[in-house]
C-alpha cells in the first residue's frame, strides 16, 4: 500500500488525488471493521449473562440434559450388534492365547512374570532411592 507522502515523479495532481482518495476509503473501511469488532466481546458477555440467567430461572435443565445424554447413549449402545467382547490382547495376538498354560500353572507364570518385571524395575531405580 502506498503511503500518502509518497508521490510518483510523473504523477499528475488528479492521479495523486485519486490515489489518496482510494487510500482514505480503504482506511475508512478498516476503521469501520475495527469498530464493529469492538462490540463483539460485549455481545458475547451479554449472551453469557442471558444463559446464566436462564439456568438460574430453570435449574431443572442442569439435571435433565445429562440424563438425556445418558439415556441416549444407553439406547445407542443397545442398538449395536451383540458381538462378544474381546480384550485388547486377544484381538492383537490370538495365537498367543492358545499357547498359555491353563489353571494354577498359568496363574503362577503370569504373576511370576509380573514379579520379575517389578524386580528388574527395582534394580534400575534402587540407586536413586534413599
pLDDT digits (tens, 9 = 90+) for 31-83: 999 888 888 888 899 999 999 999 899 888 888 888 888 888 888 777 765 66
Side-chain-side CA neighbours of residue 78 (13 Å): 5
Judge if pTM exceeds 0.75: no
52-87: burial string, b at 16+ Cβ within 10 Å, e else: eeeeeeeeeeeeeeeeeeeeeeeeeeeeeeeeeeee
- Contact between residue 24 and residue 8 where contact means Cβ atoms under 8 Å apart: no
Angle between helices 13-57 and 60-79 (to 10 degrees): 90
- Taking Cα atoms as reference points, which of 44, 34, 7 lies closest to residue 23? 7
What is the band of 19 on the pLDDT scale with cuts at 50, 70, 90?
A: very high
Q: What is the pLDDT of residue 111?
A: 78
What are the sequence ranges of the domains in the chain? Answer: 100-130
Amino acid at each position: 500500500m502506498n503511503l500518502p507522502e509518497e508521490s510518483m515523479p510523473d504523477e499528475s495532481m488528479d492521479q495523486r488525488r485519486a490515489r489518496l482518495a482510494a487510500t482514505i476509503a480503504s482506511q475508512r473501511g478498516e476503521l469501520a471493521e475495527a469498530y464493529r469488532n469492538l462490540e463483539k466481546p460485549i455481545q458475547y458477555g451479554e449472551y453469557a449473562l442471558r444463559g446464566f440467567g436462564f439456568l438460574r430461572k430453570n435449574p431443572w435443565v442442569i439435571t435433565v440434559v445429562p440424563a438425556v445424554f445418558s439415556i441416549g447413549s444407553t439406547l445407542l449402545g443397545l442398538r449395536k450388534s451383540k458381538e462378544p467382547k474381546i480384550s485388547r490382547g486377544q484381538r492383537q495376538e490370538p495365537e498367543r492365547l492358545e499357547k498359555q498354560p491353563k489353571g494354577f500353572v498359568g496363574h503362577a507364570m503370569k504373576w511370576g512374570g509380573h514379579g520379575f518385571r517389578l524386580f528388574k524395575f527395582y534394580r534400575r531405580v534402587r540407586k536413586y532411592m534413599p
